[in-house]
Structure 1
Amino acid sequence: MGKYMRSLQSFFRACLVEEFEYRANFAASVLNTVFALAMALLTVQLYFYKTEQIGGWSYDEVLALLGVFTAVQGFIGFFLQPNMSRLVDHIRKGTLDYVLTKPIDSQFYVSFRHLVFWRLADVALGLGMVVFALIRLRIVPGWQEIVMFILVLLAALAVVYSLWMGMMTVSFWAVKVDNLSFLFNSFFETARFPVSVYPVAMRILLTYLFPVAFITTFPSSAIVGRIGWLETLISLGVAVLCLVLSRWLWRFAVGHYTSASS
């Protein structure tokens, strides 16, 4: 465990130094995040222009969900997107050989080697929006709601990571997986709203086949008091299952990997 913590510290330090070499770019990226969030808020207001609820959720509850969506999107931009795109390049060019020979788990390395720190602004703004929504709802969550929210949010991140890792692992057999990334982003966009707004068939698809409901609907439901410990345990179970499957797929792919450089 100590080896992995030291590796994470090295990754953080190297990426942070690289990020602050271009401070103007860092500031511009943060401003872009603020603008994107403002546009998302405007979109939500348009939906509520002639109604007080969508899918049984009030405006302020949807604000909380949008905050969770923004935070999860920030985590994706922080470590998933920069690393998964490089994984595909490693496989195409054969440089994955150098990763496999390092004295550290290969999946850990390809998952956390490159970090984009300015995307943490999305995380901070998203969580800030959750707090703002709770203030508007006049909800003061107790310790149980806070613990459930943290657990379900961690489960959501695990589900997102597993799905993305699983799709990128397909690049061991397919030359181009760009369409899969586009497919993931398309499905992820549906998480901007509670899963209850969709028709029954779509709701089943987004809950059991492509678990979007566990990514944003469950965490936001936890913090506003819509779900209890049973749903929290279900979220954790789904997260563990997704992690196990993605780990198995990675080990299977690496076991059948033949270098493109040889």
Structure 2
Amino acid sequence: MRRNLRIFREFFRTCLVEELEYRSEFLGNLLSSLFGIAIAILTIQIFFFQTDQLGGWPYADVLVLLGIFNTLQGLIDFALKPNMSRLLQNIRKGTLDYVLTKPVDSMFFVSFRHLVFWRLVDVLLGLGLVAYGLWVKRYVPTLSDLLIFLVTLFASLVLIYALWMLLMTTAFWVIKIDDLSFVFNSFFETTRFPIGTYRGWLRIVLTYVLPAALITSTPASALLGNWSVGATLITVVVAGIFLWLSRLFWRYALRSYTSASS
């Protein structure tokens, strides 16, 4: 673990130096992020012109949920997204050899080698929206709320990472899929709204098969004081199970990898 942390620190440093070479892009990216979150808030307000609740959640609670979604989206775009597309290319071209020959855990390397720092703006905007939602609700989280929120938010990140790795690892066999990331993004978009907004088989799938209900709803509920020890434990356990499965699947997939020298 310590070795991986040292390696990540080097990834962080080198990527930050690269990002600082293009400072002029920051303003444009900031405006783009502000526009995106403004559109998201406008969409929520349009819904609430017709109803008092969305999936059983009042307006302020949905703002908190949307803020958490945006925070997670920023973290995904900061670390995961720039690496997953490169993973597909490395598998297809057989250039994953470059990673496998290094004295470092291959799954860790392909997951965090490239970082896009300006996407952290989305994290800050998301946290700002969370704070605004709490202000609208006139609710001040207790210390217990904040601790449970941090635990469930971290578990959500682990779950997101594990689900995406499980999907992307299928590229070792399904090499003709143009962009597996699009599949994951479509799934992640479902967490933008409370799980109660979905009906029928879709709600069952997003709750029990692909645990989208845990990703944003659980941290939001924790921050709003509606958490329970049972729901927190379930989130942590599910995240741990999926991370373990993604690790096993990655190791199994490497046996099917055909390198550029094969």
Matched, 1:21 2:21: yes
Are the aligned partners of 1:84 and 1:110 in contact in 2 as well (CA < 8 Å)? yes
Aligned to 2:188: 188
Are the aligned partners of 1:188 and 1:212 in contact in 2 as well (CA < 8 Å)? yes
Aligned to 1:234: 234
Q: Could you list the per-position Cα deviations for residues 42-82 of structure 1 after superposition, in whole angstroms to 9, with x for gaps in the alignment?
A: 00000001211111111010000000100111111011110
Aligned to 1:165: 165
Q: Separation in 1 of the partners of 2:157 and 2:123?
A: 12
Aligned to 1:122: 122
Aligned to 1:103: 103
Q: Separation in 2 of the partners of 1:131 and 1:252?
A: 43
Aligned to 2:243: 243
**One-letter amino acid of the structure 2 residue matched with residue 95 of structure 1:** T
Q: Could you list the per-position Cα deviations for residues 14-68 of structure 1 after superposition, in whole angstroms to 9, with x for gaps in the alignment?
A: 1111111111112211211111000000000000012111111110100000001
Q: Separation in 1 of the partners of 2:149 and 2:132?
A: 16
Are the aligned partners of 1:170 and 1:177 in contact in 2 as well (CA < 8 Å)? no
Aligned to 1:112: 112
Are the aligned partners of 1:68 and 1:130 in contact in 2 as well (CA < 8 Å)? yes
Q: Separation in 2 of the partners of 1:72 and 1:173?
A: 29
Are the aligned partners of 1:91 and 1:260 in contact in 2 as well (CA < 8 Å)? no
Query: Identity across aligned pairs (percent)?
Result: 54
Q: Separation in 1 of the partners of 2:178 and 2:218?
A: 29
Are the aligned partners of 2:11 and 2:113 in contact in 1 as well (CA < 8 Å)? yes
Are the aligned partners of 1:68 and 1:126 in contact in 2 as well (CA < 8 Å)? yes
1:111–1:152 CA distance, 2 compared to 1 (3 A): same
Q: CA RMSD in A?
A: 1.2
Deviation at 1:236, TM superposition (A): 0.3
Aligned to 1:46: 46
**One-letter amino acid of the structure 2 residue matched with residue 106 of structure 1:** S
Q: Separation in 2 of the partners of 1:45 and 1:2?
A: 46
Q: Separation in 2 of the partners of 1:178 and 1:161?
A: 20
**One-letter amino acid of the structure 2 residue matched with residue 152 of structure 1:** T
Aligned to 1:67: 67
Deviation at 1:232, TM superposition (A): 0.5
Gaps of 5+ in 2: none
Gaps of 5+ in 1: none
Are the aligned partners of 1:20 and 1:26 in contact in 2 as well (CA < 8 Å)? no
TM-score with structure 2 setting the length: 0.96
Matched, 1:254 2:254: yes
- How many residue pairs were aligned? 262
